[in-house]
């Protein structure tokens, strides 16, 4: 690009940089590598400054591709700005701070050459309208993102503020809808202490919680931070006795005012009695055992894996999918005989229930603990349900996880090296959908892939599990116009 007149010129060598800086009245030399969204935004601000200060010279250097220049100017992080006058550096700025950059450029280059220079409080020194507009746009974007993050943290704090909390219309003393009143009555009958939040008093919480919980209506009842469900689910759990069981399982204290009769505790000898003596016929017992053995991994949940009807069921489904464990499921809401009978057969009072080869593993808390410790995968491997994964197996699974798969430094939104950024931009520019893996997050994959592919550097691009190559090959295909057709054969 041509220098001056509102443009930014790319610099390709140390000699070219020295010649340009030596003849410039003022120059903001931008050492840039696209490794985060902030760097990209600052690059746009840098371009806008070139418009607002047309008499200054603006140069951009790819830090990773020009290590000699980066070393000469002491660049350790990007973006990094060097301001020069009469061929000598007079000031520097490290990091993404558009207001500071505008101030420094304006101080060195003089007021922006516009009819009505802008002097916002955030800039301090007069800057032109182009950079002002960009800074304001960034502020709006950052403000929106910050607001969403703040709301999410607030909702997380609210749902975890009490062991049991009800989001309702009104309050327990004065419910403002029949459904909320019904849930309050049930919780009082169960003898459980609970917190509440009136969603009519805060529309931000009211609308935010719908998205947060993926549950469109109120009331919403949470136990230990997990959604149990709405009015219909709570009524069904109360009538079946399951609500009390869930509360006990999660160590929620109950007072004596609860109206439900406690089930008698059976001794070990009682458990050895015939199925008829404990409430199951031989036919019922055979059916339940057949169901628990119908798949190596079997889960009994509320709803389906696609539409779980309670938070605990949803959590178990998510874990199994995350671990890529094949499983089958049974919706206990669809069959009350199974729902009640399985409690007797398993001697486990609540749902979900997870079985491996017909043996009960436990409920959501146990599965979550096993998942966090790595024991779940270990047990499944020992049982022969999943085979022990070798590094080659893992690499093959990663490579085939998407038709077009990019192994890169960082991710498509935040590339951590210039070469990765160029490949991402080429793929996006060609309108190609692709999966990605951050090799900086896993040293085993990073080193293993070099041997597996016989390709020593990153990024690496695969198409239908075949290595296409690295940055140079992708850019050549882009330049020839063959990138999209090659990755669509």
CA dist 113 and 53 (Å) reads 7
Whether residue 343 is found in the same domain as residue 405: no
Whether residue 352 is found in the same domain as residue 426: no
Whether residue 14 is found in the same domain as residue 105: yes
User: Looking at 250, 274, 299, which one is the last position of a domain?
Assistant: 250
Ramachandran area for residue 481 (φ above 0: left; ψ -120 to 50: alpha; else beta): left
Contacts of 109 (CB under 8 A, 6+ apart): 25, 26, 53, 55, 56
The helix/strand/coil state of 431 is coil
The pLDDT value recorded for residue 368 is 85
Whether residue 402 is found in the same domain as residue 378: no
Answer whether 297's CB lies under 8 Å from 355's CB: yes
Asked, for residue 363, whether it belongs to a domain, the answer is yes
The pLDDT value recorded for residue 275 is 40
Describe the crossing of helices 129-159 and 98-109 by its angle, rounded to 10 degrees. 160
DSSP-derived pairing of the beta strands 460-463 and 404-408: antiparallel
User: Looking at 109, 136, 171, which one is the last position of a domain?
Assistant: 109
Question: Whole domain around residue 299: which residue ranges?
Answer: 282-383
What mean pLDDT is predicted for residues 2-15? 62
User: Looking at 327, 352, 383, which one is the last position of a domain?
Assistant: 383
CA dist 185 and 191 (Å) reads 10
Asked, for residue 4, whether it belongs to a domain, the answer is no
The pLDDT value recorded for residue 18 is 75
Task: Tell me phi and psi for residue 433, to 5 degrees.
Answer: -80, 140
The pLDDT value recorded for residue 146 is 64
Q: Tens digits of per-residue pLDDT, 123-171?
A: 434 445 555 555 556 555 555 556 777 888 899 999 999 999 999 988 9
Answer whether 221's CB lies under 8 Å from 166's CB: yes
Asked, for residue 293, whether it belongs to a domain, the answer is yes
Asked, for residue 307, whether it belongs to a domain, the answer is yes
On the question of pLDDT at 310 being above 70, the answer is yes
Residue 218 CB-density burial (10 A; 0-12 exposed, 13-18 middle, 19+ buried): buried
Query: Considering the entire predicted model, what is its pTM?
Result: 0.39
Residue 175 in tokens: 């419910």
Whether residue 234 is found in the same domain as residue 310: no
Longest dimension (CA), the chain: 99
Q: Tens digits of per-residue pLDDT, 32-74?
A: 554 444 555 666 677 777 777 777 888 888 776 777 787 778 7
> What is the chain's mean pLDDT, rounded?
80
The pLDDT value recorded for residue 420 is 92
Any idea which residue has 């070099």 for tokens? Answer: 450
Residue 375 in tokens: 């024991």
Whether residue 209 is found in the same domain as residue 293: no
CA dist 409 and 455 (Å) reads 15
Looking at the DSSP bridge assignments, the partners of residue 168 are 198
Asked, for residue 132, whether it belongs to a domain, the answer is no
Whether residue 215 is found in the same domain as residue 288: no
Higher pLDDT, 387 or 320: 320
Higher pLDDT, 131 or 252: 252
The pLDDT value recorded for residue 262 is 35
The helix/strand/coil state of 148 is helix
Answer whether 68's CB lies under 8 Å from 52's CB: no
H-type helices in 347-412, by residue range?
364-373, 375-382, 391-399
**Residue 295 DSSP one-character state:** S
Answer whether 303's CB lies under 8 Å from 339's CB: no
H-type helices in 276-390, by residue range?
282-292, 311-322, 336-346, 364-373, 375-382
Whether residue 71 is found in the same domain as residue 48: yes
The pLDDT value recorded for residue 132 is 56
Asked, for residue 257, whether it belongs to a domain, the answer is no
CA dist 141 and 147 (Å) reads 10
CA dist 219 and 185 (Å) reads 13
Answer whether 245's CB lies under 8 Å from 349's CB: yes
What mean pLDDT is predicted for residues 380-399? 81
The pLDDT value recorded for residue 76 is 67
Residue 69 in tokens: 């220049």
The pLDDT value recorded for residue 268 is 32
Whether residue 355 is found in the same domain as residue 423: no
Any idea which residue has 């997990």 for tokens? Answer: 226
Percent of the chain residues topping a pLDDT of 90: 36
CA dist 143 and 140 (Å) reads 5
Whether residue 347 is found in the same domain as residue 402: no
What mean pLDDT is predicted for residues 300-305? 94
Asked, for residue 141, whether it belongs to a domain, the answer is no
Q: How confident is the model at residue 108 (pLDDT cuts 50, 70, 90)?
A: confident
How many helices (DSSP H) and strands (DSSP E) are in the chain? 20, 21
User: CATH number of the domain that 196 lies in?
Assistant: 3.40.30.10
Q: Quote the number of domains for the chain.
A: 4
Q: Tens digits of per-residue pLDDT, 348-367?
A: 888 899 998 888 888 888 88
On the question of pLDDT at 323 being above 70, the answer is yes
Whether residue 176 is found in the same domain as residue 102: no
Asked, for residue 2, whether it belongs to a domain, the answer is no
Answer whether 17's CB lies under 8 Å from 103's CB: no
Higher pLDDT, 70 or 307: 307
């Amino acid at each position: 690009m041509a220098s001056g007149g509102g443009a930014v010129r790319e610099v390709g060598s140390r000699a070219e940089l020295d010649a340009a800086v030596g003849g410039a009245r003022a120059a903001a030399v931008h050492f840039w590598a696209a490794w985060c969204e902030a760097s990209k935004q600052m690059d746009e601000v840098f371009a806008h400054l070139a418009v607002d200060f047309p008499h200054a010279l603006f140069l951009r250097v790819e830090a990773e591709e020009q290590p000699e220049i980066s070393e000469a100017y002491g660049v350790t992080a990007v973006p990094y700005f060097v301001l020069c006058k009469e061929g000598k550096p007079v000031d520097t700025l490290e990091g993404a701070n558009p207001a500071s950059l505008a101030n420094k450029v304006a101080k060195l280059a003089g007021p922006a050459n516009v009819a009505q220079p802008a002097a916002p409080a955030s800039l301090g020194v007069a800057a032109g309208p182009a950079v002002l507009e960009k800074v304001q746009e960034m502020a709006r974007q950052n403000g929106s993102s910050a607001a969403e993050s703040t709301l999410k943290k607030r909702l997380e704090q609210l749902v975890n503020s009490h062991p049991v909390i009800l989001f309702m219309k009104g309050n327990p003393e004065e419910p403002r809808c029949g459904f909320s009143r019904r849930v309050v009555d049930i919780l009082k009958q169960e003898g459980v202490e609970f917190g509440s939040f009136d969603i009519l008093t805060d529309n931000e919480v009211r609308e935010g919680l719908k998205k947060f919980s993926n549950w469109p209506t109120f009331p919403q009842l949470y136990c230990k931070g997990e959604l149990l469900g709405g009015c219909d689910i709570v009524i069904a759990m109360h009538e079946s006795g399951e609500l009390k069981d869930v509360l006990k399982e999660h160590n929620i204290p109950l007072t004596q005012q609860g109206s439900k009769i406690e089930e008698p505790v059976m001794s070990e000898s009682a458990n050895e009695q015939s199925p008829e003596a404990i409430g199951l016929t031989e036919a019922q017992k055979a059916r339940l055992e057949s169901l628990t053995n119908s798949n190596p991994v079997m889960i009994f949940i509320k709803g389906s894996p696609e539409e779980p009807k309670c938070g605990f069921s949803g959590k178990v489904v998510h874990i199994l999918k995350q671990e890529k464990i094949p499983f089958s499921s049974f919706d206990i809401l669809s069959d009350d005989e199974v729902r009640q009978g399985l409690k007797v057969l398993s001697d486990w009072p609540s749902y979900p229930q997870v079985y491996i080869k017909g043996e009960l593993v436990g409920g959501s808390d146990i599965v979550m603990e096993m998942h966090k410790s790595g024991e779940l995968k270990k047990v499944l491997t020992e049982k022969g349900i999943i085979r022990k994964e070798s590094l080659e197996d893992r690499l093959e699974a990663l490579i085939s996880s998407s038709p077009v798969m990019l192994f890169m430094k960082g991710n498509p939104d935040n590339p951590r090296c210039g070469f990765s950024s160029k490949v991402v931009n080429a793929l996006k520019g060609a309108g190609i959908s692709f999966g990605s893996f951050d090799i900086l997050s896993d040293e085993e994959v990073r080193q293993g892939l070099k041997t597996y592919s016989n390709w020593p550097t990153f990024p690496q691009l695969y198409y239908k599990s075949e290595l296409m190559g690295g940055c140079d090959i992708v850019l050549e295909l882009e330049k020839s116009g063959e990138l999209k057709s090659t990755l669509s054969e």
